[in-house]
Structure 1
Amino acid sequence: MAVTWNKTNFPGVRYYEHATRKHGVQKDKYFAIRFQACGKRREEGLGWASEGWSAAKAAQTVAELKKAATTGEGATSLAEKRQKAEEKRQAEAEAHAQAERDNVTFEHVFLDSYFPIAKKNKAQRSWQKEDQCYRLWIAPVLADKPLKDIAPIHLERIKKNMAEAGRAARSITYTLAVVRQVFNFARDHDLFAGQNPVTKIKKPSSDNRRVRFLSHEEADRLLAALAEKSPQVRDMALLSLHCGLRAGEIFSLTWGDVDMERGVLTLRDTKSGKTRAAILTDAAKAMLADRERRGPADLVFPSETGEKVGQVSQTFIKTVNAFGFNDGVTDARQKVVFHSLRHTFASWLAEAGTDLYTIQQLMGHQSFAMVQRYAHLSPDTLRRAVKGLEAGMDAAKARDKKVVRLGDQ
């Protein structure tokens, strides 16, 4: 619709009236300006009187734009002025966001962001352990510090506090790993932009590989005692002892993964993230055959409520303590725990002369180095290897003697 422009008492300022809309008792007016700047004639709309515009204010705007064009300082058009204003607003918003990032504390990231997600995505045992590490060791040092202010010296203090409290090197390494994960999380979510300080820390050296394993007589006594107190705990212990399963693998085992005909268990979502097979012994097959078999998706070892078991039973721990296996033992590697059954499985294999590669496959270890701890348990295998070398050397010498040389004729 065509509009009728009206002149004002100010050069370069004009307006038109809205057909119906009122501003006070008068019709609302829309103001626009026309002026010469940088050799070009410009024409721009300003706004309505109801938005605060007036002829005088429009004239002042014209004067400012002409001055900017003459001096070369400032915007020479409303579009440019709006752009500069938007750029300023964005810069201020970014500065404010950066200030918030700079001031975000470790406690804020851990409690409000990182930990709630960890509880949803990690196993209960894992997030509970992280929570304990935070409360006992991390929070006293880092909680109120902005992430940008946390330096290696603070992490060294955590290491020192834990070492003085008698915590193992492995526990210290785990706690530092939690700190590292929080920083990585903050960086991934634009809460932190610096270098992860954990990368500058030397991890304490540790050898937490389990040493203690059961003799056949100790294992028989333990299984017999468990059978009297809890047949289910005894069955789980037997499966770990005979097939090398971790506790978590036993808790997650379903009947669909039990192949009685082939004598094989399929273990999914293992610690290494890969699926592997476990071979059943006759005793393990007999034990499973005696259990009530249900649907493929049903757990082989459900809890009393029918749900997945979350941790090793106190029945196992109390039975081990009753036998005195851990009396006077201070080195964690020498203590008998449920995982000792898996370690015993591998140790018995090594003692029976099983090669380390086969043990690696049965245990589901990712690297060969992880099974080298069992090498000293298979001296007969090493002796057989050396005897084979000697036999090869003797055979080579015998062949050499039978060779007829032209110079000897």
Structure 2
Amino acid sequence: MVYEYKSPVNGTNRKHPLGRHGEVTVEQAKTMAKASAGEVAMGNDPQEKKHERRREIQKQRQNTLLAFLEGEYRTVTPKASADAAEKNIKKYFAKWLNKPLVNITAFDMTKWLNNYPGAPSGGNRIMNDLRGLLTKAVAAGYLEKTPMSEVKRLREDKNKKIKYLTREYEQRLMAGLDEYDEYRRKLDKQTEGKYADLLRPLIMVAVNTGMRKGELLNLKVNDIDFASGVITVVGMGEHSDDYQTRKTRTKSLQTRYIPMNDTSAAVLNDWLHQTGHTELVFPNTAGRRACDKFIDRRWYWAREAAGLTGKIDFHGLRHTFGTRLAELRVDLVTIQELMGHESLDVTAKYLHTSPERKHLAISALTGY
């Protein structure tokens, strides 16, 4: 049984199938014919709509996770973010890469999360990459809705102790740096005094500004205003070299301004005077942006010399900055602005870190 009509779209005579005799009753066919007539009256072509639905289904079936990840996803995602997401998705969701997006279910993702072997925070961060991709797939029309709305994040310990330098550890690190510098001075003799090591000034600036490793490595000389005593940590800005292209300079993409104390100002002034750098403040030996491994090798060497192996990584220097501010009872909003946190919830963890703060709080009750 068919419904014959003249297409309001192109004026051609068309036939719209209503169903086979025996599978569809006459009454059902009449009802469907009336619905189709209503569509025609409103200027729609029922048969064309049917073809559009088929094309959409075919499009969804053909668009796999891998195809979208390497294709349209990159056209609407900053390069640095897309690179990081692609690396994680290909590593952790390799079995799903050739799956159509519509076949990736909330059940699949919940099962993956529940079987994630690492810390809950790690599993949630990895899943966030997939979450962002599927959200953009909805915007692109490949999915009607994201299944992520049905996926519950793993519970995290929000009060988990962060690693930072206690006063004792800080003294030990400085002693380790003395040993490291002695080693570098011996090396410097072999290079005829042409090389200045960046580890000590990098560490001193990190502890006194709270800047992330990547922000320090992207820092340019013209980002430092010694006259006003302020460092500008640029949120967006292209920086290209042989290592990689980086369009993002901060994690939040927001520019922030960090006042320099006497220590950070003196360290930076001495370092730039010593090296004569005019572009990047902390480049590698070739004058280009240093990679993480370039810094990490030096950091691990100094950390081992200080006897702090396994106790703290370079990011712990940023935590040290936040903890010191909290110990000085600086308000949370100021700490948030200095560290570039998007949420006060992230900043608040520094209030739970220092044992000294807790001891002071309890001591204040004496005689109350």
After TM superposition, the score normalised by the length of structure 1 is 0.62
Consecutive unaligned residues of structure 1, counting only runs of 5 or more, are 1-71, 328-334, 391-409
Aligned to 1:139, which of 91, 94, 107? 94
Is the deviation greater in 351-360 or in 266-275? Answer: 351-360
Residue in structure 2 matched with residue 204 of structure 1 by the alignment? 154
1:306 match:
287
The one of 107, 125, 131 equivalent to 1:180 is 131
Deviates more, 1:340-349 or 1:266-275: 266-275
Number of residue-to-residue matches in the alignment: 301
Structure 2 gap segments, 5+ residues each: 17-43, 185-195, 236-249
1:326-341 equivalences under 5 Å are: 326-327=309-310, 335-341=311-317
- Shift in alpha-carbon separation, 1:366–1:99, aligned structure 2, 3 A: closer
Tell which has more relative contact order, 1 or 2 (C-alpha 8 A, sep 6+): 2
The structure that has the greater radius of gyration is 1
Q: Which residue of 1 aligns with 2:218?
A: 252
The residue that corresponds to 2:118 in the other structure is: 167
User: Per-residue deviation at 1:183?
Assistant: 1.3
* 1:62 match: none
Partner SS for 1:292: helix
Once the two structures are TM-superposed, the CA of residue 73 in structure 1 deviates from its matched residue by: 5.4
Please name the residue that 1:290 is paired with. 270
CA contact (8 A) 1:244 1:342 kept: yes
Give the 5 Å matches for 1:193-232.
Answer: 193=144, 195-207=145-157, 211-214=162-165, 215=167, 216-228=170-182, 229=184, 231-232=197-198
**1:152 pairs with 2:106:** yes
Quote how far apart the aligned CAs of 1:74 are.
5.0
Q: Which position in structure 2 is the counterpart of 1:315?
A: 298
Partner of 2:78: 121
Residue in 1 aligned with 2:308? Answer: 325
Which secondary structure state, in structure 1, belongs to the residue aligned with residue 232 of structure 2? strand
Identity of aligned residues (%): 25
Residue type of the partner of 2:265? Answer: K
1:267–1:276 CA contact under 8 A, matched in 2: yes
Cα offset, 1:148, TM superposition: 1.9
- Check conservation: 1:268, 1:275, Cα contact below 8 A: yes
Measure how far apart 1:383 and its partner are. Answer: 6.7
Which residue pairs with 2:33 in the alignment? Answer: none
Q: 2:335 maps to what in 1? A: 359
Structure 1 pair 384/267, CA: closer, same or farther in 2 (3 Å)?
farther
1:342 aligned to 306, 318, 329, which one?
318
The answer to whether the Cα contact below 8 Å between 2:205 and 2:264 also exists between their aligned partners in 1 is: yes
Q: How does 1:7-46 map to 2 (within 5 A)?
A: none
Q: Secondary structure at the match of 1:274?
A: coil
CA change 1:337–1:191 in 2 (3 A) is same
How much does 1:240 deviate? 0.4
Superposed CA deviations along residues 158-214 of structure 1, whole A, max 9, x for unmatched, are 21332xxx3121221122112212212222222222x21111111002247662221
Residue type of the partner of 1:360? Q
Q: In the superposition, relative to structure 1, how do residues 318 and 82 fare at CA in structure 2: closer, same or farther (>3 Å)?
A: farther
